[in-house]
Amino acid sequence: MPTAAASLSVEDAVNRRRGDLIELSHSIHAEPELAFAEHRSCAKTQALVAEYGFEMTAAPGGLDTAFRASYGSGPLVVGICAEYDALPEIGHACGHNIIAASAVGTALALAEVADQLGLTVVLLGTPAEELGGGKVLMLGAGTFDDIAATVMLHPGPVDIAAARSLALSEVTVDYTGRESHAAVAPYMGVNAGDAVTVAQVAIGLLRQQLLPGQMVHGIVTNGGQATNIIPGHAELRYTMRATDMTALHELEGRMAGCFSAGSIATGCTHQVSETAPAYAELLPDPWLSETVRAEMVSLGREPLPASVEASVPMGSTDMGNVTHVMPGIHPVIGIDSGGAAIHQPAFTAAAAGPSADKAVVEGAIMLARTVVRLAETPAERDRVLQAQERRTAS
């Protein structure tokens, strides 16, 4: 099947399922679920491809809300990542309902041309992107081992073809002191709440010396239970970000000194624990990125110029870890959010609006067309297949 015919075929397939895909997006949006608890969303995301005859594997890597759904037997194995976890209290303010529905649409469309293009289509349900690193855990469990390239998209206020992200790690810091009555015998206490304060002051002063691209942000998750008790326990949770893993490790070392300052100043002890695997920065595949850029334009979208992309503020994603292992892309598809950024309540509302529905459909079309072009471009097809063979052999 020539590329033009296959591209028309996948576009038609997405448009035929338009109603089902939008219904899926709205249904996930209406019942937001947090990381590793996305049971309803996981089941909903699998339903349409199960009906089509995809081979289903439940809980890959032992993750209850992950799945792998495969169709076809071609040598070029392409993964499509679906995310469906929400945020505490503000629901789908990151638009993962759009990600899941567009991923399903991409998988269904590619299944219709899999035999002609020599494809195996793999839809991956990847939980806990917001907190927990589902993709990192699935990579470690071998779920991606046979996949040559992986695609997905993410909603945002604008279209970005070669989207970037920051490396990220997150820790909890638990301080232990000694309780005492705050009025009768404060001198007998060791104030864990004060340790938190000292640590945060140190972090605030550190910010002036951070490298460009490094940033830290955190919350106090336990600052004491009553004003008349010297807190014997207190806890911080901090996220650290940087342009790459090298800069992230440097930042982690400097933050460790700030956490220690709280203990030293107050006489507490402290323990630092990772809350999830670290996220690497995105390394979008150049050829796939330029291909998806062309597909955005063909759909009437206006992706940011490549010269501007690097200046856009970035978040973080566990898809970064995938792109360090194999060719992959994570473009941003724009929706009308009324000026709201992701992780704002107004973006939650926009993620189920008309422009979000359009993004589900057009996102599936542009990803499916990108995979078609990969399958039908011999040099690029060989490139990703050879990279996968080297990875498997190593």
Domain boundaries in the chain? 3-165+279-393, 167-274
Q: Is 7 exposed, middle or buried (0-12, 13-18, 19+ CB in 10 A)?
A: buried
The residues with which 142 forms a beta bridge, in sequence order, are none
| Residue 195 pLDDT > 90 | yes
**What 3-state DSSP class applies to 358?**
helix
Q: Do domains 3-165+279-393 and 167-274 have the same CATH topology?
A: no
CA atoms within 13 A on the CB side of 210: 22
| Residue 5 pLDDT > 60 | yes
CA 334 – CA 134 distance, rounded (Å): 25
Write down the CATH number for the domain with range 167-274: 3.30.70.360
pLDDT at 42: 98
Query: If you ran DSSP here, which 8-state letter would residue 182 be given?
Result: T
pLDDT at 2: 54
| Residue 217 pLDDT > 60 | yes
Both tokens of residue 245? 């893993």
pLDDT at 36: 98
**What 3-state DSSP class applies to 286?**
helix
| Residue 1 pLDDT > 90 | no
Most distant CA pair in the chain, distance = 84
Cβ–Cβ contacts within 10 Å for residue 205, how many?
11
**Percentage of the chain lying above the pLDDT 70 cut:** 99
Question: Is the C-alpha dihedral spanning 156, 158, 160, 163 positive or negative?
Answer: negative
**pTM of the shown model:** 0.95
CA angle at 170 for the pair 164 and 171, rounded to the nearest 5°: 170
Homologous superfamily (CATH) for 3-165+279-393: Zn peptidases (3.40.630.10)
Q: Are 331 and 160 in contact (CB under 8 A)?
A: yes
Q: Tokens 């070392």 — which residue? A: 253
CA 219 – CA 235 distance, rounded (Å): 9
Average pLDDT score over residue span 212-234: 97
Q: How confident is the model at residue 100 (pLDDT cuts 50, 70, 90)?
A: very high
